[in-house]
Structure formats: structure tokens, C-alpha cells
Amino acid sequence: MTEKAMTKKGMAEKVVVIYSGGMDSFTVLNRALADNKEVYALSFDYGQRHVKELECASNVCKSLEINHKVIDISSINQLLAGSSLTDDIDIPEGHYESENMKSTVVPNRNMILLSLAVGYAVSVGASQVYYGAHSGDHAIYPDCRPEFVQKMNDVCQIANYESVEIFSPYLEVNKTAILADGLRMGLDYSNTWTCYNGRTKACGKCGSCQERLEAFSENKMVDPIAYE
């Protein structure tokens, strides 16, 4: 790294990015970099069957040469039962707005992940936690809705001696708009994994795949990953 680059990095504001390895968090990660932040990427293994996304996250962070931690919190599944993402329950097919997609909710997941990310932010001197909630998740996931994010942000201002802001750059827009921003940044989405089934190829049928495919279609682009 050149002296000029080191100086620029040293002056940059530190932020923690919750980075799953999916297309939304991949865009958020790169948005933080585009905002000239010094990024500390944080990924969680919570026992999700689509753990393949963590491989994508690791590969991207290595290529970008940014700080990255993958934290194993899978033991919490002894407490958080009933989600098709972590339990032996079939992944539902259909759009996110379908009632059956509620089986993909992991109880209290984002409150737990945000709390850990805020603790990490305090420990490294970061002022913000970037979080990829968006409007396409509002119908099914209560912990992606604006009122949840606002309340969490309020708490994180007073939970420590150092206040940390929960920043959700795409909170009010959908995946199509997120992808459009990523395409403007020239991002390669072959480096992401979205499917809730952790197989070799994406299923194309779960809500996560359908929303991703819609986003590419509405942006008049072809998804670069392989589908069954």
C-alpha cells in the first residue's frame, strides 16, 4: 500500500458492515467503500443452511483486502427454533409477500446481529454499523422495517459511552434499486449468493431467488450466477 493510500485510509471514518455475502450486503459493503469509509466487515454463521454465502463473503473481502471477521454463533439455535433457514423445515417457494415465507424468519436474528456489530464497532472505534435492510423485506421481516431500525438506532446511541449509528442506506428502496446502484458502481454480482438453499446452483424458486431474478430483469440485466 502506498504512503498516500495509507494516509487516506488513516483519515477515513471507521464503520462496521454486516456482510452476509448476499447481493444486498455486497452492495452495502461497496457503498461504504464508495463513501470512503474504512470498512470492518462482519459475517455471522448462525447455522443457516445457505452457509455458502459466507464463502462468497470471505472471497470478496480477500480480494478487496479489507478487515473481515466470520463469527460462529450457531449455538443460539438451541434457543431460536422454527425457522426454515436453520431447522429441518423445507424452504418455501414463492414471492416474499406470500404468507408461507414467514417460515424463513429467524426469531430476533437482526437484533442479535446488530447488537454484536455495535459491540464490535465500539471496540474498533467505528461510528456506524452499515446494515442492508430494504423495503422488499418489510412485508415478512419485522426486524427490517423502518420502525425497528429507528428504535435500534435510538438504543445504540445510549447503550455505550460511545454512540454508534445504525445506518441502512437502502431502507426505503427495493432490491431492484439496490442492484441499480451496484451496477452504477460496476459491481460483479457473480461474487454473491442469495438462494436460501445452499446447493451447488441457486434454486430459482425460493422467495430470495425470485426477488433477485426480478431485480435483474427490471434492470434489463442477466443474473451471472448459475440456476438449477
**Is residue 98, in this structure, part of any structural domain at all?**
yes
Q: Is the distance from CB of 190 to CB of 215 less than 8 angstroms?
A: no
What is the extent of the structural domain holding 16?
A: 3-218
Q: Average pLDDT in the 123-151 region?
A: 86
**Is residue 226, in this structure, part of any structural domain at all?**
no
Q: What whole-number percentage of the chain has pLDDT above 90?
A: 62
**Is residue 223, in this structure, part of any structural domain at all?**
no
Q: What whole-number percentage of the chain has pLDDT above 70?
A: 79
For residue 185, count other CB atoms closer than 10 A to its CB.
12
Cα dist from 76 to 41, 48, 54, whole Å: 21, 11, 18
CATH code where residue 20 lies: 3.40.50.620
Q: Is the distance from CB of 142 to CB of 110 less than 8 angstroms?
A: no
Least confident of 27-31, 75-79, 197-201: 75-79
pLDDT over threshold 50, residue 71: yes
**Is residue 52, in this structure, part of any structural domain at all?**
yes
Q: Give the per-residue pLDDT at 105.
A: 55
Distance between CA atoms of residues 188 and 121, nearest Å: 28
Q: Is the distance from CB of 56 to CB of 188 less than 8 angstroms?
A: no
pLDDT digits (tens, 9 = 90+) for 90-111: 444 555 455 555 445 567 788 8
Q: Give the per-residue pLDDT at 92.
A: 45
Q: Is the distance from CB of 70 to CB of 45 less than 8 angstroms?
A: yes
Q: Give the per-residue pLDDT at 3.
A: 41
**Is residue 105, in this structure, part of any structural domain at all?**
yes
The sheet that has 165-167: what strands, in order across it? 67-72, 38-45, 14-18, 128-130, 165-167
Q: Is the distance from CB of 41 to CB of 30 less than 8 angstroms?
A: no
**Is residue 212, in this structure, part of any structural domain at all?**
yes
Distance between CA atoms of residues 134 and 116, nearest Å: 20
For residue 75, count other CB atoms closer than 10 A to its CB.
9
**Is residue 224, in this structure, part of any structural domain at all?**
no
3-state secondary structure of 40: strand
pLDDT digits (tens, 9 = 90+) for 164-217: 999 999 999 999 999 999 999 999 999 999 898 878 899 998 888 999 999 999
Cα dist from 170 to 66, 149, 152, 159, whole Å: 22, 12, 16, 24
| Total number of domains constituting the chain | 1
Q: Give the per-residue pLDDT at 196.
A: 82
**Is residue 228, in this structure, part of any structural domain at all?**
no
